[in-house]
Structure 1
């Protein structure tokens, strides 16, 4: 492929050189290009990024997917360059690269919300994550979710409520989750307010289920013996689950239905305990009843919910008289 030595297209908003396998050197950015938001270099043979990329002051999305020759580790200061040059970067895609360590300095990328290091089969350690990262994919790597550092980073993200959806290698619910149970469902009781919940699910592939998969995460509550779905998250075309175990971590709060049903508001105002059920379904696109969910867990965010108003066992004694959900 023949490329110009320099680029000075100040009106350019999107630049894609994807799958230009003969591209080894990226052209110099000769002038500030504030309008360029998305640069896709996936599948190229580039070994490094020129310092002139600091002229991409408005860059928001950078894809380096499958850039096997990119010298991310070693002498190339890629991660130190990111916060210095790209103050507006919100998405970084390093999927299927030769990354071995995600360094702690990436925490300085304060605008980074989406980070994808999945399928980086040499990735052995994650030392940091930006505090504002809401979506993080790290499946098919050598890093396990229960490693001490990653466990700490996961807990920090959950406590700060920045987490939206994380996808990681793992075989069990972290021990510091408030409650976990085997299977694809669990129940809890709450009162006064909806609890701020983060769910975690352990998935495993069955031999008779072929990708892509479909995952559905629902939260039902019972009012007068009637089940009402108040939160629903659906993820189609999931292809990242492995036989070795995989976990999804999801903040349920953004998926609550608003406005609330009048019956729900009345039930909350009575201060009676209300039953809630978390249900996960996982299967193929053709048959979504095929179960591969091994464990499910829940963490209650103390910044928004009081543990006095949440129970994981039946909250009433046998001698109590009450009408549930009224």
Structure 2
């Protein structure tokens, strides 16, 4: 059964719909396929997809790569040119950081999205990031190495599952100081600020998750009632 497939630096213009029949395929790389316009199907268990320098991809193909059901199934790490933050994402930001609040346990499925301009970088499968919980930096380690350096002045979308892309220190030992605990994911200081386009966070579990500051709201209510 084919689990990994590299079609890099080819001249084809479309991936046929029959690629969906590769049910065991987990990793697909079409980087450098400058003439690739259409992706007509996505294998059902695809987890890692890389499309560096695929400058001809159609809007419909980019939309397919951002499919909600595909990414909510978990463990995805996708990189493709252009794109936008999908409407189904819980939280969107124009700055280098996105955040959410949780209570009880840290959620299992956290999807992160970064839109950024890549000019000439060591091409990591997923970008480096920093994570803070209640203002304290939490140690994380990338599970993936990089590839060769290429000059590619393009906007890219990175869409990835946090726990699949990074190894997190034992979250059960995190000192949860409050009822609601603040998580900030930021790329500030790791990528030049002028290259950021947008960031996003999507947490599959909706119970005990918030995207507004619960303490800020309570403070406002207290001020109004005092």
- Which residue is 1:262 aligned to? 173
Q: Distance in 2 between matches of 1:289 and 1:170?
A: 17
Q: Distance in 2 between matches of 1:274 and 1:241?
A: 40
1:170 to 69, 72, 82: 82
Q: Distance in 2 between matches of 1:150 and 1:107?
A: 16
- 1:56-102 deviations in Å (ceiling 9; x for gaps): xxxxxxxxxxxxxxxxxxxxxxxxxxxxxxxx211111111012111
Q: What SS does the aligned partner of 2:133 have? A: strand
2:137 to 215, 228, 253: 228
- Which residue is 1:10 aligned to? none
Q: Distance in 2 between matches of 1:90 and 1:178?
A: 31
1:315: Cα distance to partner? 1.5
1:183: Cα distance to partner? 2.2
Q: What SS does the aligned partner of 1:204 have? A: strand
1:276 to 169, 183, 186: 183
1:311 to 181, 189, 210: 210
- Normalised TM-score (structure 1): 0.58
Matches within 5 A, 1:1-326: 88-141=1-54, 142-144=56-58, 147-155=59-67, 156-163=69-76, 165-195=77-107, 196-205=109-118, 210-212=120-122, 215-222=127-134, 226-229=135-138, 231-233=140-142, 236=146, 239=149, 242-254=152-164, 255-260=166-171, 262-264=173-175, 267=176, 272-281=179-188, 288=190, 290-291=192-193, 292-301=195-204, 305=205, 307-316=206-215, 317-318=218-219, 319=221
Is 2:32–2:52's contact at 8 Å kept on the other side of the alignment? Answer: yes
Q: Distance in 2 between matches of 1:139 and 1:293?
A: 18
Query: Relative to 1, partners in 2 of residues 1:112 and 1:171: Cα closer, same or farther, differing over 3 Å?
Result: closer
Q: What SS does the aligned partner of 1:243 have? A: strand
For the aligned residue pairs, the C-alpha RMSD in angstroms reads 2.7
Query: Relative to 1, partners in 2 of residues 1:108 and 1:213: Cα closer, same or farther, differing over 3 Å?
Result: closer
1:252: Cα distance to partner? 0.4
> Which has the bigger relative contact order, CA under 8 A and spacing at least 6?
2
- 1:91-130 deviations in Å (ceiling 9; x for gaps): 1111110121111111111111111111111111011111
Q: Which runs of 5+ in 1 are unaligned?
A: 1-87, 283-287, 321-326
1:157: Cα distance to partner? 1.8
Select the structure that is richer in strand: 2
Q: What SS does the aligned partner of 2:71 have? A: helix
